[in-house]
Chains A and B, each alone.
Chain A
Amino acid sequence: MSRVVSFVRQPIVVALVLIVLLLYLGEALSPGFATGGQILRLLIVASLLGIVAAGQNVVILGGREGIDLSVGGVVSLSAIIAGNVMNGADGGILPAVAACLAAGAFFGLLNGLGVTLLRIPPLVMTLGMLGVLQGLLVVIRMGIPSGQAAPALSRFVTQPLAYGIPGIIWLWIVIGILLALMLNRTVFGHRIYAIGSNEHAAYMAGVPVKLVRIALFMTSGMFAATAGLCLLGYSGTSFANVGEQYMLPSIIAVVFGGTSLAGGKGGYTGTMAGAVLLVILQSILTTINIEESGRQMVFGATLLLLMMFYGRGRAMRA
């Protein structure tokens, strides 16, 4: 009995149940909401969010109030870099991928160095970095939309690749498997959990705490850059601050998936379910004609509500 209760109370189970409920709700509000094609379209959007949340997830797992608020800026920057490097030609895809990942890693490195060497709290460091990136975007674009997605990239994101499923969803699944393996079956993964659970004990057991933390921020930057690249493929061209909408949802998806904001507890599988859940919620809000501002309010309130529930759960267990 208690096993059943603890199974049902697992965040991922809660998220999956909510996903089914929300699909029914969407179908009731607007018939055709939960058809196969529509669900695939939702999953494409969810995979973009999910890839950003992957980086957010590892940073949060690393503890010491780890959080990456700069992901939105990196997504936008990466979309612009990709658009300009490939400029509509398939041959430009590989250089674009390299350039995006390098940019993501670079800004992640700056975040990591600021947090470890200068001891700036992650919240402040990455918020500052977001400001820098937003300014940078204004400077390099000078307000004019620029860059075109290569046709192959657009096909990869929007058209079925195998078994009727678009490439980006396959990419997301591969990322999900790789992250699960990394967290559970590699020394690096165990070290992430160790520094997130008890940083001092990890240090005394020879874990290179600073290097691991820098690597986490770089990982986050690279995932955000990957998402920016795919986002370009999804929308065809890059426009102002496309990435901004990812900051808050990427954090909510992680928390929804059962990862503790205190670090050291959780995993990526739940986060994937959280990302799907958020995208469906967003879609329902759009269906019933709620403006972007209204959606932001709902998201913010969702995060606070989650924190209340999880906070209470922890207090009850203690």
Chain B
Amino acid sequence: MAKAKIARKSTTIDMTAMCDVGFLLLTFFILTTKFRPQEVTQIDLPASTAQFPLPDINVMKFDISKDGKIFFGLDDQPTRMALLERIEEEYKFDLNDDQRKAFKVMELWGIDINDLPAFLAMDATARGHYEQPGLKIDSTEFEGEHQVENLITWSRYANPELRIAIKGDKSTSYKSFDLLIQTLQRCKVNKFNIITTEKKVAE
């Protein structure tokens, strides 16, 4: 019996098709990716069965850390710049272009507005390491500078479509949450969203 000859095949495979697929997926991921913003504080979200997704645009975000510090963020840069202009005007700040640029890319911040120019003048790494004390929030309607109220009103003035999302830690005490709610209500905001993670209903 004659031995069956095994044809020697080349081990090289045509990579073109794989390359196509690879780059197609790459393009998809590059276009859809939205980088996770740098977290100012670690926040462990509470879980709920709510299904309403967070809107993509026009969001004013408040983060409340475990120890009750409140941070503020606007999602789009034109609104941020409009807000900064208003702050400059009201607080008589004279900011340079670098400081403005720094504010433009700031996703979330929580400091006394009076300290804002100094904070913006820091270089980027120092700003990243700086431990922000949280917004200066008034405990009652009649005292304080109404910084948070002003921020809310001015931002909404710059962009009336803003929705308000509150991101609180699981173990944030209700007291600090209530402080923010009361402030919001003083600005006639009675509708807002709490950001949660998804949870299945255990029957």
Pairing of A with B = no
Interface residues of B (CB under 8 A from A): none
